[in-house]
């Protein structure tokens, strides 16, 4: 008996050793978050000491973004955003972590609202943007070794973007032309009569509109104030404008020798009528910069985000092939001679959306971010083309990255069960987490498990979806389920920490997030499948997702709900005109009668490219509009939106509310004052999540009232 026990113990030790080896290999494979996976699959005994996520946890979990590694690779700076519900505003603060010790140091004050950290080429200073003590956003400098930050620029308008020159003695600024209000405020300040409330004052002159494209969300009406490039000299404080004209210039990038700037601009005859943009180069020190302009690319589609090779001979950039497809077309990585010439597309076979190209310091690689089946990975390829590899792969979302001189990569990323953090990938090492911003916030919370699944749509097309299960999920139990649809239409649900999905799951729902046709990250054919055909193939794909979770025995077919924001709300509006399968719907900033949006939203060009002019192709506009099938709606529907939304104007929700009210369908309209398409006021975001929970609980679970108590609503 004893010998038998010894054999068993030896066998267990061997199993344990093999298991340990497998764990180590899994960690080194850099294809999944082992810690996050183990958390998602915790045994029920561990869950006994955890609690579920609450709405108030939204204000404990912070956003971490824009990881910038110092040139010597020893420090990483990043922006941390706190959603302060008490003061009802977001606070952005810059932190810095030592790569060796991992210690975090706050570089800016919490109330200074600081963003865009950028290291000086010698690594001695960190430049950043801040409104501290000013009505306008300016460039500030902070010594790496500590000390008080110093204001660098003092422009009459906001600094939108800045980048260091290779020598570190100049910075390039992106500034919008100064408005009369800006100039008046600057004059008062110079005379010692600065108006503390100038920034909050209501515009006193009328809007005079003469542009074809005349409106943008979070801006409102557009005038002829354009964004241009300016060179600021740190030595003497002088500033020189280097781009001009009735065009907007963006994405500035210094050449390695510091003599030129590459940038993105649409300089076609009528920029407001198309989606063109090209890569241009301007000489910094020319007596007449306008005459030095060189057009590097000439495609009628979009070319943007230029990045120079270390030898200055090549520019990498993001490009599209078919201008007629605008946002349905794949964004590829391309290279072209810096002097102009035929470009080469390096990712045509990859057929995935790319962004943020950047050369490695030795010039051997071009790094870039790519969307792929619900992920955002960091990829790289030789400037000559060939094999594409994935330095940061797996089911996660890389949001931003930077590269030090020794090839070390710093990145901000998240996974389905891990909020944003800063990570480090040494040139010859493994990915490791550097920051611990959200470690305490999620400690002790039992987060929902997230699965990525595949299934067939009606016509046999394979569709991917995320299925988020309640923390205490029990196999064999059918749960109430919510079909939550993404915006876009050419966006996608991704393997990132999604608070909305997590809070719904924490309240007992299975959340189904499909990436139907039209979604990005699955190739151009998949994306353009819904061009001028909204609510057909994407509807079939969305409903196939519902069929999947029902057939799997995960979802209760008698307790289904649907919802979404932006295009997700448009899909919701369409779905409830086609089926009575859902007990409740939430439509946040959705469109209803499409003709109403022409000329009132910011998408006139998009409407024309896709559906044609409404007076010439009215039948298609009407065919696709959910309004024309409104009598089919019986689903109780909560409608929400911001009254300042120029992306999807609130008139859509108002018309839908009025229609449903008139038809006797249970409905409610909630309009948030001062909010644009994406809400930013913390108390409104809190209100939004609470309304989601109350509406679904009332109509799906038949629990409680349909809306929160009046006292919980913001003023």
Which tens digit of pLDDT belongs to each residue from 156-165? 999 999 999 9
pLDDT of residue 10: 37
Q: Supply the Cα-derived Rg of the chain in whole angstroms.
A: 27
Whether residue 586 contacts residue 571, with contact meaning beta carbons closer than 8 Å, is answered with no
Q: How much is the average pLDDT of 541-557?
A: 98
Q: What are the backbone dihedrals phi and psi of residue 301, each rounded to the nearest 5 degrees, phi first?
A: -90, -170
Question: How far is residue 138's CA from residue 157's CA, in Å, rounded to a whole number?
Answer: 9
pLDDT, greater one: 191 or 360: 360
638-675 pLDDT per residue, tens: 999 999 999 999 999 999 999 999 999 999 999 999 99
436-490 pLDDT per residue, tens: 999 999 999 999 999 999 999 999 999 999 999 999 999 999 999 999 999 999 9
If pLDDT is split at 50, 70 and 90, which confidence band does 303 have?
Answer: very high
CA dihedral 238, 241, 242, 248 (to 10 degrees): 140
* pTM of this structure: 0.90
What does pLDDT average to over the chain?
A: 90
pLDDT, greater one: 22 or 457: 457
CA distances from 42 to 39, 147, 495, 603, 681 (A): 5, 45, 19, 46, 35
pLDDT, greater one: 23 or 344: 344
pLDDT of residue 208: 85
Q: How much is the average pLDDT of 333-354?
A: 97
pLDDT of residue 562: 98
Contacts of 117 (CB under 8 A, 6+ apart): 66, 68, 77, 78, 79, 94, 107, 126, 127, 128
Kindly tell me if the per-residue pLDDT of 712 is higher than 60: no
Q: How much is the average pLDDT of 170-189?
A: 86
CA distances from 357 to 119, 222, 333, 366, 423 (A): 19, 30, 7, 6, 19
Kindly tell me if the per-residue pLDDT of 530 is higher than 80: yes
Closest CA to 558 of 453, 480, 618, 658: 480
pLDDT of residue 315: 98
If pLDDT is split at 50, 70 and 90, which confidence band does 193 have?
Answer: low
CA distances from 440 to 36, 49, 57, 62, 85 (A): 15, 15, 11, 11, 19
Q: How much is the average pLDDT of 102-129?
A: 92
Kindly tell me if the per-residue pLDDT of 288 is higher than 60: yes
Token pair, residue 381, equals: 């390829």
pLDDT of residue 714: 43
Closest CA to 698 of 550, 554, 566, 584: 584
pLDDT of residue 1: 35
Contacts of 115 (CB under 8 A, 6+ apart): 66, 79, 92, 94, 128, 129, 130
| Residues of the chain above pLDDT 70, percent | 90
If pLDDT is split at 50, 70 and 90, which confidence band does 3 have?
Answer: very low
Q: Could you give the domains of the chain?
A: 446-702 (3.40.50.1820)
Q: What percent of the residues of the chain are helix, what percent strand, and what percent coil, each to the nearest 5?
A: 25, 30, 45
589-645 pLDDT per residue, tens: 999 999 999 999 999 999 999 999 999 999 999 999 999 999 999 999 999 999 999
Closest CA to 410 of 419, 422, 398, 420: 422
If pLDDT is split at 50, 70 and 90, which confidence band does 50 have?
Answer: confident
pLDDT, greater one: 68 or 12: 68
pLDDT of residue 29: 39
Show contacts of 615-624: CB within 8 Å, 24+ apart.
620/532, 621/594, 621/595, 622/595, 624/533, 624/534, 624/535, 624/594
């Amino acid at each position: 008996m004893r010998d038998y026990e010894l054999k068993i113990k030896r066998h267990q030790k061997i199993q344990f050793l093999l298991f340990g080896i497998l764990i180590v290999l899994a960690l080194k494979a850099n294809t999944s978050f082992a810690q996050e996976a183990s958390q998602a699959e915790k045994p029920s005994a561990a869950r006994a000491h955890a609690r579920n996520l609450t709405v108030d946890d939204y204000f404990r979990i912070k956003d971490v973004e824009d990881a910038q590694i110092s040139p010597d690779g020893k420090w990483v700076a990043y922006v941390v955003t706190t959603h302060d519900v008490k003061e009802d505003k977001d606070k952005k603060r810059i932190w810095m972590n030592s790569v060796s010790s991992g210690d975090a140091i706050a570089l800016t004050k919490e109330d200074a609202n600081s963003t865009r950290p950028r290291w000086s080429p010698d690594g001695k200073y960190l430049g950043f943007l801040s409104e501290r003590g000013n009505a306008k956003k300016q460039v500030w400098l902070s010594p790496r070794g500590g000390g008080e930050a110093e204001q660098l620029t003092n422009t009459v308008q906001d600094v939108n973007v800045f980048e260091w020159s290779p020598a570190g003695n100049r910075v390039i600024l992106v500034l919008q032309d100064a408005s009369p209000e800006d100039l008046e405020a600057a004059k008062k300040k110079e005379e010692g009569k600065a108006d503390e409330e100038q920034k909050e004052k209501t515009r006193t002159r009328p809007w005079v509109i003469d542009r074809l494209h005349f409106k943008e969300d979070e801006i409102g009406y557009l005038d002829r104030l354009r964004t241009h490039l300016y060179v600021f000299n740190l030595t003497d404080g002088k500033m020189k404008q280097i781009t001009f004209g009735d065009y907007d210039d963006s994405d500035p990038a210094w050449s390695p020798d510091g003599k030129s700037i590459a940038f993105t601009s649409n300089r076609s005859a009528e920029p407001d009528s198309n989606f063109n943009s090209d890569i241009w180069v301007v000489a910094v020190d020319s007596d007449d910069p306008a005459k030095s302009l060189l057009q590097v690319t000439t495609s009628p589609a979009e070319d943007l985000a230029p990045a120079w090779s270390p030898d200055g001979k090549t520019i990498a950039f993001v490009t599209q092939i078919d201008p007629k497809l605008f946002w349905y077309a794949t964004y590829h990585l391309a290279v072209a001679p810096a002097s102009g010439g035929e470009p080469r597309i390096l990712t045509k076979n990859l057929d995935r959306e790319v962004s943020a190209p950047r050369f490695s310091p030795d010039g051997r690689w071009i790094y870039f971010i790519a969307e792929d089946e619900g992920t955002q990975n960091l990829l790289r390829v030789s400037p000559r083309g060939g094999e594409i590899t994935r330095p940061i792969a797996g089911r996660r979302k890389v949001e931003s990255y930077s590269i030090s001189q020794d090839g070390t990569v710093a990145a901000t990323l998240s996974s389905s069960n891990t909020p944003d953090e800063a990570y480090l990938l040494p040139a010859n090492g493994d990915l490791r987490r550097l920051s611990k911003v959200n470690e305490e916030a999620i400690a002790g919370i039992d987060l929902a498990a997230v699965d990525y699944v595949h299934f067939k749509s009606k016509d046999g097309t394979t569709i991917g979806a995320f299925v988020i299960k309640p923390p205490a999920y029990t196999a064999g139990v059918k749960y109430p389920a919510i079909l939550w649809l993404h915006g876009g239409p050419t966006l996608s649900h991704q393997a990132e920490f999604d608070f909305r999905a997590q809070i719904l799951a924490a309240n007992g729902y299975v959340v189904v997030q499909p990436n139907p046709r039209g979604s990005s990250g699955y190739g151009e054919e998949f994306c353009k499948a819904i061009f001028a055909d909204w609510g057909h193939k994407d509807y079939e794909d969305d409903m196939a997702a519902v069929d999947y979770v029902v057939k799997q025995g995960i979802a209760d077919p008698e307790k289904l709900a649907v919802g979404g924001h932006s295009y997700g709300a448009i899909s919701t509006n369409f779905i409830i005109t086609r089926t009575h399968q859902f007990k409740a719907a939430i439509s946040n900033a959705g469109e209803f009668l499409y003709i109403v949006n022409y000329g009132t939203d910011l998408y006139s060009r998009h409407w024309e490219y896709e559906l044609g002019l409404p007076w010439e192709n009215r039948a298609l506009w009407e065919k696709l509009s959910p309004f024309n099938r409104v009598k089919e709606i019986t689903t109780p529907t909560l409608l929400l939106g911001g009254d300042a939304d120029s992306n999807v104007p609130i008139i859509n929700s108002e018309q839908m509310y009025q229609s449903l009210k008139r038809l006797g369908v249970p409905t409610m309209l909630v309009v948030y004052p001062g909010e644009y398409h994406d809400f930013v006021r913390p108390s409104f975001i809190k209100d939004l999540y609470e309304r989601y929970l109350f509406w679904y609980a009332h109509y799906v679970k038949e629990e409680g009232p349909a809306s929160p108590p009046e006292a919980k609503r913001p003023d």
